[in-house]
Amino acid sequence: MTGLLKTPLHGLHLELGARMVAFAGYDMPVQYAPGVMKEHIHCRDAAGLFDVSHMGQVILRGDNYPAIAHALEALIPVNIADLAPGRQRYGFFTNDAGGILDDLMLANRGDHLFLVVNAACKQADLAHLRAHLSGIEITEVTDRALVALQGPQAEAALARLAPAVAQMRFMDVLTLDILGADCWVSRSGYTGEDGFEISVPADRAEALVRALLVDERVLPIGLGARDSLRLEAGLCLYGHDMDAEVSPVEAGLAWAIQKVRRSGGDRAGGFPGAGRILSELDAGASRLRVGLLPEGRAPMREGTPLFADAEAAEPIGAVTSGAFGPTLGAPMSMGYLPVDLATPGTEILGEVRGKRLPARVATLPFVPARFKR
């Protein structure tokens, strides 16, 4: 574990008895004493608190917001220019082949854009931005922690410290004073539950987390339950369910590309890989990310080859994420299949330890989202 980076909350994780693992170059909590199953269920039933300070936080500044937004639209195929102040949107960097370099959240904070990118990709993302955005000031935020409070009781728990959050809608962003700290709050998350992500000055992060954990509705949650929660919610994990070879359309992310950036839109194209992506938006992709429900109780894990039938010599796809779903009460997986086999209800076979076992294509998400619209 030597050489790993530590978040501002590292000491608190150890105090709370977390089991630590290496993740994206950081020493991170994978679970606490209750274990992954109980942490998962508690987040679905009440509120879970996650340290996500390993994620990259980036600020883009320029002459004005339209200039920043139009510059970034040259790298990201979503509508950034028309994003209202105080609102956030999901997006992704694409490459010239139409694959995904990383996915991210971006927020219009009035005179600048605030981005949250994946931990494993943040240095590459910063280099990508600096190489392609002329006239834009690009700043990596290194003096703030990032925590996520997720679950049906998240609003009540955070409103105890910051009453204004009760008025926020899904994807709203606000700057709030919480316990004397200047916090950047978004109503969003990575669990399918209602909740918030809070960027807080590093030297005030532990005080904020301790104040939240005083509430019996809130428990600390590790990376293990974070993964099972996002998988039940049908959410992609970069480097697993999407990568530089997978297009947004294949990944089931076409919903994130607004009409104005599509063929016939006022700002159609103009982003890396537009030829492939616009073509797939119009004509469809040859393969799609799907949900899979294996029979029995054993999950089909990442890398499990998928076959059309028992006699097929070659696989038709592979599992990209798989786990047992505590809320679902059954194993669940995601993977890629040819479009003609991607219809919900279709039976395919996954090869586990030399045996081909049945699974059915399922509609995503496995567990319905409960965002506050």
In sequence order, which residues have a C-beta less than 8 Å from that of residue 206 and are 6 or more positions away?
Answer: 8, 9, 11, 12
pLDDT for the residue numbered 68: 97
Give the pLDDT confidence score for residue 190 in this predicted structure.
97
Q: What are phi and psi of 173, to 5 degrees?
A: -130, 140
Q: How do residues 159-197 score in pLDDT, each as one tens digit?
A: 999 999 999 999 999 999 999 999 999 999 999 999 999
Report residue 175: phi and psi, to 5°: -100, 125
Q: What is the pLDDT of residue 96?
A: 98
Confidence band, pLDDT 50/70/90 cuts, at residue 114:
very high
Token pair of 367, please? 């567990």
pLDDT of 351 strictly over 60:
yes
% of the chain surpassing 70 pLDDT: 99
274-328 pLDDT, tens digit per residue, is 999 999 999 999 999 999 999 988 899 999 999 999 999 999 999 999 999 999 9
Q: What is the pLDDT of residues 20-66, one digit of tens each?
A: 999 999 999 999 999 999 999 999 999 999 999 999 999 999 999 99
pTM as predicted: 0.96
Q: What is the pLDDT of residue 127?
A: 98
pLDDT at residue 298, as a whole number:
87
Instruction: Say whether pLDDT at 1 is over 60.
Output: no
Query: Given a cut of 70, is residue 108 above it in pLDDT?
Result: yes
Strand pairing category for 347-352 and 305-307: antiparallel
- The predicted-structure confidence for 237-288, as pLDDT tens digits, reads as follows 999 999 999 999 999 999 999 999 999 999 999 999 999 999 999 999 999 9
Q: What pLDDT, on the 0 to 100 scale, is given for residue 373? A: 87
Q: Do 271 and 77 touch, CB atoms closer than 8 A?
A: yes
pLDDT of the residue at 80: 98
User: Mind listing the domains of the chain with CATH numbers?
Assistant: 10-50+143-232 (3.30.1360.120), 286-373 (2.40.30.110)
What does DSSP say about strands 355-362 and 287-294: parallel, antiparallel, or unpaired?
Answer: antiparallel
Could you tell me which residues come within 8 angstroms of residue 317 by beta carbon, excluding any fewer than 6 positions away? Answer: 287, 305, 306, 335, 336, 337, 338, 348
Task: Give the whole-number percent of the chain exceeding pLDDT 90.
Answer: 98
Instruction: From residue 307, give the alpha-carbon distance in Å to each of 287, 291, 311, 357.
Output: 14, 15, 9, 10
**Residue 125, pLDDT score:** 98
